[in-house]
Structure 1
């Protein structure tokens, strides 16, 4: 890499070893985030439509209730530069972009009135700084398409936006930007001009989208140089994920945090996947360079979001303890996604437990101790006292029957499947119940947008559109099962064809019906919705139809997680404190074996007596 001597020394000092990951950062941008950043982001509750009033309301809450616990960043997420964006998607038909003469997006004044008169985000940044908080924004990688079309000048260069772009690599899911081609005259100057503007606004944090999956190393390096030249300590967060493991060291050398997953929502299936994800990324943590398990979809979500309706999180209380415990022992950045003023006392208690946040901020030698099926333990050291932290999890589920037990099985469907769909034809003779089940195809369920298309029940010479039959229960691994729309809120579209009737859902999901009297057959088709097919990784799924319950008998509500004290490096009698409750438990010798509720977690501090 063509960097200065300082850059070369930094690259040599940074390694991927777990042992080195606990050492102090080198004296560069890593020092700007010595502990995992903690803040609020507008995405989960307001999507691309957040307003200045809403940002200030969340900032006011943070300053009053959370700042004393270490929460400090307030981040305005995507498309703050569009005057007429919409909830539950993006307006790409006639977006009203706000852009300056140098091809740099500026805030939409109808949403951020203080930006009027060319002030940009500086007044909002000043408002946050006056409260002792820090200011962040989201941007997309690249140069605006509209700047290229207008051949807008680049500050500090004779080139225009039309001289530095390529259509190759353009994001498939949002078409605001083109790739900036590294090495072309004006390319570095364009990124320099961006961060010169952002520094003038008082920016402290930037989340850059479409950067990590696929991984755009040349633009990452230009961004790193531009931030360093800006003269302001702007923490860099790369999104979305999963960042390729092959690029882990490069990410360490250029960013303060980078995503380990795609967008994470209030889905137990997605949360359970994080046990494997966090273990996989654990060796690549170091102070100032944090693998990011994504936002905390807790509290009130979906007010005007891209995903789902206005709701309190779908996570149970046990699952919320699991989320906060795993993120803390893994030392992920914490970015809260809910509307803070709508918090209830329980949510606030999760965010302000100082003993738990101390694990996040100060623990060392963090690692998974074991995974025994779905009973998981993580541990870490208290560097001040030599005590051990122990997190135990019960990730047991009510397991599903194998696909061989289904009345019908689609096999794997992906975007490589012809038409991205298969015909559905199921014999229901004698069936009283019907279960439509979609399962992840084995590559993770991030983009498994699944559609049941034109489902028709027939029998006794009659036919019934299944979409007119009310279901008894319906779940979705992400989002909400919906009649007549895809799970992302769009048309039911598969393989380029739009369907008027059907059901949109997402793996892993189950829809349960009582079979109407006389109905003996179900026909239609199933497929990968277009919204999943166009994503970077696409979707891979399996559709199953059961005429009996697809569940195996449920495990017990609680399970005992047995941990030998020797596994923690402790001997003799030890004291135990429950960090969530603050209670001192009875001393233990030899083994500690707490009971943990299904989908729940416990976090302890264990010390030699």
Structure 2
């Protein structure tokens, strides 16, 4: 009899332990979900390696940029350190150098489940030391992925982890990225397709990834949904950034909002055409932002760019891509590989006025602030712009400003400050000539009967008149508050 009582007591005890464990796991899941829902409540701020290293970032440069990030950007609220594409490529190198001899690696490093692994060429110690150091510094780690599954994994017919399915069971061999042929798309109607994405995201979560930049994804809402679902089941809070931009169909907005950032431009480089594209995107996507979902106009191409693409002999550096190709085809240039990115190693070719315009636009439009240039060599002027407290305050206000005035190539955009009778104004001279301009309060969308304290951010002075001389492609950046 006593033996039976002991058995009952033990059964109740272990059942209680099991229930507590289940409740604990349920609470952990709930806490993780709540944390995920709070992600990116303001536009994310960070650094991405593409502008400075293309798809050829290597271990030494990654660590140097990470340490510089912690010193120069973290004190101003920047938190995401993002390694762009190519981290899995076993690149052919130019003899005796770390420079690539091919645009995209022909050989990829992946495991028996078709999941990409760090390049032994560029990351001989793997990514974990970089991820761990990132977290030690109080920063968050991000990485780039391409939509789909490696074509080489399909050829090897790797198993989908945890299932009876293989790569050839889930692949769509007709779906190939136009500019990078390393992957096939995944047919989400096939059994095992979701499980493949789950296994890939679970690997990222196990590594400690906090941010995913997913490329070639915007035109494929089914795969956006699959990746968002995979992130949810991983139980790790991960910011999802959709890329590339360009032709983004607004009809897919519901799928886009499963992510936290939506690229709406092509790659933006240090040239006026990129600024013009950002203005066009601002008009098109104005008002679509909300906490947890931001309209992304690509990286900030300040500082040193394209460090892994030294200018070859016989190249001036100002030729277009088409001109370079023509010279290669004619035999005028030889042994030149057109690498990822745009152009050759250089300091950003923006003028100071273009830089003021660029960063003011980013502030007023609440576009995520993702620095692209090399951080260890960053010049003082670029650093001052991207860490300006007033600019960051405007950006982190999280409101995409609206166009309130347009005449003779002059545009005035206004961003109200949340829960306040103040805000910010950008007066942009979008012409190729300098302009002397005078405005009324009405032109600036300010109440004529209200007194305001108005501060010129870039000149760092208070003003009481609206008379300005604005250089070609320049800007006046104002902060106002009702007095």
Same fold (TM over 0.5): yes
SS of the residue corresponding to residue 283 of structure 1 reads coil
1:558 equivalenced with 2:435 (yes/no): yes
What is aligned with 1:448?
none
1:572 equivalenced with 2:450 (yes/no): yes
The structure with the largest strand share of the pair is: 1
SS of the residue corresponding to residue 376 of structure 2 reads helix
Q: Distance in 2 between matches of 1:365 and 1:238?
A: 19
Q: Deviations over 1:478-522 (max 9, x none)?
A: xxxxxxxxxxxxxxxxxxxxxxxxxxxxxxxxxxxxxxxxxxxxx
Q: Distance in 1 between matches of 2:149 and 2:180?
A: 13
What is aligned with 1:596?
470
1:256 equivalenced with 2:245 (yes/no): no
CA RMSD after TM alignment: 2.0
Within a 5 Å distance, the mapping from 1:75-90 to structure 2 comes to 75-84=82-91, 90=102
What is aligned with 1:74?
81
What is aligned with 2:159?
153
SS of the residue corresponding to residue 389 of structure 1 reads strand
1:379 equivalenced with 2:414 (yes/no): yes
1:179 equivalenced with 2:185 (yes/no): yes
Aligned residues: 414
What is aligned with 1:607?
481
Q: Distance in 1 between matches of 2:67 and 2:438?
A: 41
| 1:29/1:288 contact within 8 Å kept | no
- Give the deviation of 1:291 after TM superposition: 0.9
Q: Deviations over 1:552-607 (max 9, x none)?
A: xxx3x23316253472345333221112343222x35xxx3433211111211122
What is aligned with 1:225?
229
Pairing partner for 2:66 from 53, 59, 64: 59
What is aligned with 1:106?
117
SS of the residue corresponding to residue 604 of structure 1 reads strand
Q: Distance in 2 between matches of 1:239 and 1:371?
A: 31
- Give the deviation of 1:85 after TM superposition: 5.2
SS of the residue corresponding to residue 358 of structure 1 reads helix
What is aligned with 2:170?
164
- Give the deviation of 1:380 after TM superposition: 1.3
What is aligned with 1:128?
134
| 2:57/2:86 contact within 8 Å kept | no
Q: Distance in 2 between matches of 1:157 and 1:568?
A: 62
SS of the residue corresponding to residue 199 of structure 2 reads helix
Q: Deviations over 1:298-319 (max 9, x none)?
A: 1111111522111111100000
- Give the deviation of 1:293 after TM superposition: 0.6
Pairing partner for 1:49 from 44, 56, 62: 56
Q: Distance in 2 between matches of 1:187 and 1:30?
A: 25
TM-score in terms of structure 2 length: 0.82
Q: Distance in 2 between matches of 1:61 and 1:239?
A: 26
Unaligned runs of 5+ in 2: 1-32, 94-98, 310-339
| 2:84/2:143 contact within 8 Å kept | yes
CA gap of 1:225–1:603, structure 2 versus 1, over 3 A, is same
Unaligned runs of 5+ in 1: 1-25, 116-120, 398-554
CA gap of 1:570–1:158, structure 2 versus 1, over 3 A, is farther
Q: Distance in 1 between matches of 2:224 and 2:188?
A: 10
- Give the deviation of 1:95 after TM superposition: 2.1
